[in-house]
């Protein structure tokens, strides 16, 4: 398997974010979607507009999201559109709730569980995408990074349940919590493959910002405070290598506060999403880390 390159900087600032992106040496074609998490109202773990504004503007990008599958302030279009504004995203760029009107089904070729992946219909309006993710813990996935942001994040509200239940019908949101867990992690990789095949792998790039390393996701309205310090910004053309590099950086940290995040990742078998994505040929777990600060 080819060795991927992951670029890294400790500089978590607009300049550091630009440096990490520019290291990729790619010009994204056409209309650019910038996939972020808008963050559940009440929480504060989401990537802040002040950090990402310059990069989004330089790409002439549109910030994109989809509705959630669980009750909250982002499970309806009306409330989610308010969240875009309340969290400051409409002030920095055009914003698009991709499943505001409908969804489309992308084929999953060679998936383990899924044959279709349901994404926001507006996804078809974009020719390229920056998957801009906040790397942190997650209550179900163990951690959230590029692979989760591109699968669950691009999925429509219905599509999220479809992934969580590995293709079975989700009749109520609680079904997500009783579904087979490893199958859910594998289904995220299936969904990633559908997105990459549809848009073209050469038209997607990935940046993870590893700051505010809470055990909880941006989707939590009351996330736990981080117990370990920020790591930096990681960027790659390979989502598998990128998420693997972030996981490795947590383990390699000399911060004793890392124990909480490691426990969250291991207790949810989070690494299995990376394993499943690598098995589908979506990228390499072996990578070359380039320190942009050296």
Average pLDDT, integer, range 231-238: 98
Average pLDDT, integer, range 150-159: 96
Q: How many CB atoms lie within 10 A of CB 291?
A: 10
What distance in Å separates the CA atoms of residue 232 and residue 209, rounded to the nearest whole number?
Answer: 6
Region of 87 on the Ramachandran plot (φ > 0 left; ψ -120 to 50 alpha; else beta): alpha
In the predicted structure, residue 92 carries a pLDDT above the cut 60: yes
Q: How far is CA 12 from CA 18, 51, 100, 131, in A?
A: 10, 8, 32, 17
Strand order of the sheet with strand 32-35?
95-97, 62-65, 32-35, 128-134, 204-210, 232-236, 4-9, 287-291
What interhelical angle do 271-279 and 239-252 show, nearest 10?
Answer: 150
Average pLDDT, integer, range 94-99: 97
What interhelical angle do 239-252 and 258-267 show, nearest 10?
Answer: 130
Which among 11, 16, 24 is positioned nearest to 206, based on CA atoms? 24
Contacts of 104 (CB under 8 A, 6+ apart): 118, 119, 120, 121, 123, 124
Model pLDDT, residue 25: 96
pLDDT in tens, 174-210: 888 889 999 999 999 999 999 999 999 999 999 999 9
- Label residue 254 by pLDDT band (50, 70, 90): very high
Average pLDDT, integer, range 76-81: 91
Average pLDDT, integer, range 261-273: 98
Q: What distance lies between CA 255 and its chain's CA centroid?
A: 24
The pair of structure tokens assigned to 78 is 């009306």
In the predicted structure, residue 69 carries a pLDDT above the cut 90: no
Average pLDDT, integer, range 43-64: 96
In the predicted structure, residue 250 carries a pLDDT above the cut 70: yes
| Burial (CB count within 10 angstroms: exposed 0-12, middle 13-18, buried 19+), residue 198 | middle
How many domains does one find in the chain? 1
Q: How far is CA 108 from CA 27, 191, 194, 195, in A?
A: 27, 7, 5, 9
In the predicted structure, residue 1 carries a pLDDT above the cut 50: no
Average pLDDT, integer, range 211-229: 91
The answer to whether the beta carbons of residues 7 and 35 sit under 8 Å apart is no
pTM: 0.96
Measured in degrees and rounded to the nearest 5, phi and psi for residue 286 equal -95, 135
pLDDT in tens, 100-127: 999 999 999 999 999 999 999 999 999 9
Domain of residue 77, residue span: 4-291
Helices (H) and strands (E) in the chain, counts: 10, 12
pLDDT in tens, 6-40: 999 999 999 999 999 999 999 999 999 999 999 98
- Label residue 2 by pLDDT band (50, 70, 90): low
Average pLDDT, integer, range 41-64: 94
In 135-249, DSSP assigns E strands to: 136-138, 142-144, 204-210, 232-236
Average pLDDT taken over every residue of the chain: 95
Q: Which residue has the higher pLDDT, 250 or 43?
A: 250
What distance in Å separates the CA atoms of residue 155 and residue 119, rounded to the nearest whole number?
Answer: 4
Model pLDDT, residue 221: 77
Which among 198, 180, 20, 171 is positioned nearest to 108, based on CA atoms? 198
Model pLDDT, residue 71: 75
Secondary structure element (H or E) that encloses residue 157, with its range? helix 157-164
CATH code for the domain in which residue 9 is found: 3.40.50
């Amino acid at each position: 398997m080819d060795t991927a390159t992951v670029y890294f900087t400790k500089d978590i600032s607009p300049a550091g974010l630009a440096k990490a992106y520019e290291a990729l040496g790619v010009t994204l074609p056409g209309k650019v979607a910038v996939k972020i998490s808008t963050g559940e109202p009440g929480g504060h773990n989401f990537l802040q507009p002040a950090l990402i504004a310059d990069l989004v503007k330089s790409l002439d990008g549109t910030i994109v999201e989809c509705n959630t599958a669980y009750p909250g302030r982002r499970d309806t279009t009306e409330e989610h559109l308010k969240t875009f504004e309340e969290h400051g995203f409409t002030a920095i760029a055009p914003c698009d709730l991709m499943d505001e009107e409908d969804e489309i089904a992308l084929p999953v070729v060679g998936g383990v569980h899924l044959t279709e992946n349901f994404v926001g219909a507006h996804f078809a309006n974009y020719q390229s995408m920056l998957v801009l993710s906040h790397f942190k813990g997650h209550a179900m996935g163990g951690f959230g990074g590029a692979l989760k942001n591109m699968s669950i994040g691009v999925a429509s509200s219905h599509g999220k349940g479809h992934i969580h239940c590995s293709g079975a019908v989700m009749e109520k949101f609680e079904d997500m919590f009783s579904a087979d867990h490893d199958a859910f992690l594998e289904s995220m990789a299936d969904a990633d493959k559908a997105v990459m095949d549809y848009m073209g792998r050469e038209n997607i790039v990935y940046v993870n910002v590893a700051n505010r390393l809470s055990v909880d996701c941006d989707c939590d309205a009351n996330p736990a405070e981080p117990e370990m310090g920020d790591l930096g910004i990681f960027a790659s053309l390979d989502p598998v290598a990128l998420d693997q590099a972030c996981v490795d950086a947590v383990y390699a940290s000399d911060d004793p506060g890392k124990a909480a995040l490691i426990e969250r990742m291991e207790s949810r078998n989070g690494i299995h999403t990376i394993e499943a994505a690598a098995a589908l040929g979506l990228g390499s777990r072996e990578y070359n880390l380039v320190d942009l600060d050296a």
